[in-house]
Amino acid sequence: MILVAGDSWGWGEWPKFDPAVEYKPTHYGLSQYISDHGYKVHNLSVPGGSNYHTVNVIRKFVDRTINPEKVISKIFIFQTEWIRDYTGSDAVQDTNELLKMGYTELKNHTISGFYYSLSNFAKKYNIKIHVIGGCSDTFFLNKFEDEYPGVSIVCQSLTNLCINNNPFIEKPVFEVDVPIDRKTYLGIIEKIKKQSNDSDIEDFLNDQLRTNKRFMIWKYRKEFFPDGSHANKKAHKKLFDLLVNNQVI
């Protein structure tokens, strides 16, 4: 069995939101292509979920699985925005100590902590975990698996793969959506700002510029992002083909 997990990007292609109709994927993206390829797939993605939530969902599923190391061959995870770990109903509960960090330190700590959690999980169950940059791009290190054993980056940016035919990106984008819980988000940013130096502020402003540019890509490149915020089945096919060509699948 292959697991796919993440936020709404992990579910696949979404229609434009219409409150008059049931809102559900029109194509299940990577998981559907893997299934069509002849593999058994279970999709654990949760729309609106955080990276913290993704780890917990996978952990609960595997804990309920008998002999998971024999049943589950690999896991694909769509990374989402790091800031979601601190907003929403599934947020990290104890944030006081973390929010003593400046902007850059907190961002790097949160994303890296996500990979360390995945690595601990991968080592415990001897299951390979492959991370995909979806709503958020991923970190990338030349020796990524030396730092995070059992975890690999198979596509740093699905957006860049679609637009520039390159799965890697020089300046990754880690925060894109405006959080639903805007009040909490602004409160966190205000706390971070108090601990941030000039370098942090510059990093924050550069992230916002990249965020705006990414929004524009999703808005105007309808051939890959027809609803303006999710990759469609054409984009997921490019991802699937990349994984097949690189012998990940």
pLDDT in single tens digits along all 249 residues of the chain: 999 999 999 999 988 765 555 667 889 999 999 999 999 999 999 998 999 999 999 999 998 998 988 899 999 999 999 988 887 666 665 567 667 789 999 999 999 999 999 999 999 999 999 999 999 999 998 899 999 999 999 999 999 999 999 999 999 999 886 555 677 777 778 888 888 999 999 999 999 999 999 999 999 999 999 999 999 999 999 999 999 999 999
**Alpha-carbon Rg of the chain, whole angstroms?**
18
What does the pLDDT read at residue 184? 75
Q: What is the CATH number of domain 2-245?
A: 3.40.50
Q: Do 111 and 175 touch, CB atoms closer than 8 A?
A: no
160 is written with which tokens? 């860049």
pTM for the model = 0.93
**Eight-class DSSP state of 42:** E
Q: Do 5 and 53 touch, CB atoms closer than 8 A?
A: no
Sheet holding 74-79, edge to edge: 41-43, 2-5, 74-79, 128-133, 151-155
150 is written with which tokens? 């059992």
The four Cα atoms 165, 170, 174, 175 give a dihedral, to 10 degrees, of -80
Largest pairwise CA distance in the chain:
53
What does the pLDDT read at residue 195? 86
Contacts of 197 (CB under 8 A, 6+ apart): 102
The strand pairing partners of 78, in sequence order, are 132
Q: Where are the beta strands (DSSP E) in 9-149?
A: 41-43, 74-79, 128-133
What gap in Å lies between CA 147 and CA 116, rounded to an integer? 8
Which H helix or E strand runs over 5?
strand 2-5
What does the pLDDT read at residue 142? 86
Backbone angles phi, psi at 103, to 5 degrees: -55, -55
What does the pLDDT read at residue 159? 98
